[in-house]
């Protein structure tokens, strides 16, 4: 099964990252709806902060059969996982089970920085992490169980050491909000073990090669002056009853197209500025 850019047959786990407001939760819910339409059982969990996708979408997901785990429901998440896994064993063939954990980076952050966190919560988080590890081991040997972990700037260093193989075998998606719409980029490992996003890099290079604003204003002004001069000469010929000059008409058409192209290039904002390819510092949730 393939959902969006995630090939579940090839990658037992999927890590979705991005900044706040970049559509990570939106992508999770879109993938969940597609998975359920394909017959999968879906558990959507955000035990740290709870779901903030709006009641209509939550209701639609529940009606479609998704199990929703909300804020502080650590024990319920573990119990639900056990119940669903046990129920799946009784079904032949067993439907795919997809566990999606949103805001996973916050859970890891609390685990790494326990200061001020109640002991019982830390114990629940550790229990949950161990349960995830057990399921991940099963997922690597099974075509049935798949996992999605979504969070703000998830990094390998934040994960337990035992997750190294899962991280390297997983799919990596970056969600970004570009000019008011969400875009998703697929990641791959470079020779140093870092995740890169080739399509995003290509977009950055293309953006960097665009002319600067001052140059574009100067070029556009010259084009429009010449275009106006050619149109004036053509209008004068027509008033005098002289037929159109084919070369002049062709020049006007070419100038109009060039002017339109310049207008497309004139947007000097870089929608990809704050991306993994340009970011120099990492902040935590």
pLDDT tens column, 238-261: 777 777 667 767 777 877 877 777
> Token pair of 261, please?
């192209």
CATH for 25 = 3.40.50.300
Is 31 a member of any domain?
yes
Q: In the beta sheet, which residues pair with residue 6?
A: 3
Q: Which residue has the tokens 């053509």?
A: 234
- Asked if residue 237 lies in contact with residue 243, where contact means CB atoms within 8 angstroms, the answer is yes
What's the domain range around 233? 213-265
Cα within 13 Å of Cα(210), Cβ side: 19
| 28 and 123 part of one domain | yes
Q: Is the pLDDT score of 1 beyond 70? A: no
38, part of any domain: yes
Q: How many domains does the chain have?
A: 2
Give which of 91, 99, 108 is closest to 154, Cα–Cα: 108
Residue 14, Cβ density class (10 Å: 0-12 exposed, 13-18 middle, ≥19 buried): buried
| Residue 200: strand pairing partners | none
Helix axes 213-239, 246-265, angle to 10 degrees: 150
Residue with tokens 């497309």: 264
Do residues 72 and 165 share a domain?
A: yes
Position 284 in a domain: no
Q: Give long-range contacts, CB 8 A cutoff, 24+ apart: 54-59.
A: 57/29
Give a yes or no: residue 94 inside a domain.
yes
DSSP 170: S
> Residue 281 falls within a domain, yes or no?
no
pLDDT in tens, 69-110: 777 676 777 777 777 766 655 555 666 788 888 888 888 888
Q: What pLDDT band is residue 282 in, cutting at 50, 70 and 90? A: very low
Report if pTM > 0.85. no
105 and 237 together in one domain: no
- Residue 148, exposed/middle/buried by CB under 10 A (0-12, 13-18, 19+)? buried
Report the chain's mean pLDDT, rounded to a whole number.
77
Tokens encoding 271: 């929608």
Based on the domain organization, do 16 and 128 belong to the same domain? yes
């Amino acid at each position: 099964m393939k959902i969006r850019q995630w090939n579940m047959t090839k990658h037992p786990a999927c890590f979705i990252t991005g900044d706040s407001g970049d559509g990570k939760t939106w992508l999770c819910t879109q993938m969940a709806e597609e998975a359920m339409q394909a017959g999968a059982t879906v558990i959507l969990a955000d035990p740290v902060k709870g779901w903030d996708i709006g009641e209509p979408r939550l209701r639609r997901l529940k009606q479609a059969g998704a199990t929703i785990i909300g804020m502080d429901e650590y024990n319920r998440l573990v119990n639900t996982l056990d119940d669903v896994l046990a129920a799946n064993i009784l079904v032949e063939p067993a439907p795919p089970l997809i566990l999606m954990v949103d805001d996973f980076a916050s859970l890891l952050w609390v685990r790494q920085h326990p200061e001020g966190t109640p002991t019982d919560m830390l114990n629940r988080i550790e229990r949950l992490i161990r349960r995830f590890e057990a399921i991940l081991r099963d997922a690597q040997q099974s075509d049935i169980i798949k996992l999605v972990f979504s969070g703000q700037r998830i990094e390998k260093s934040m994960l337990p050491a035992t997750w190294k193989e899962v991280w390297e075998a997983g799919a990596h998606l970056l969600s970004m909000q570009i000019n008011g719409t969400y875009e998703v980029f697929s990641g791959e490992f470079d020779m140093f073990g870092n995740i890169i996003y080739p399509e995003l890099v290509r977009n950055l290079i293309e953006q960097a090669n665009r002319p600067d604003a001052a140059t574009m204003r100067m070029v556009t002004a010259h084009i429009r002056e010449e275009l106006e001069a050619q149109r004036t000469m053509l209008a004068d010929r027509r008033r005098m009853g002289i037929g159109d000059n084919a070369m002049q008409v062709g020049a006007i058409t070419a100038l109009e197209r060039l002017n339109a192209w310049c207008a497309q290039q004139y947007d000097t904002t870089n929608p990809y500025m704050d991306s993994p390819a340009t970011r120099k510092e990492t902040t935590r949730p």
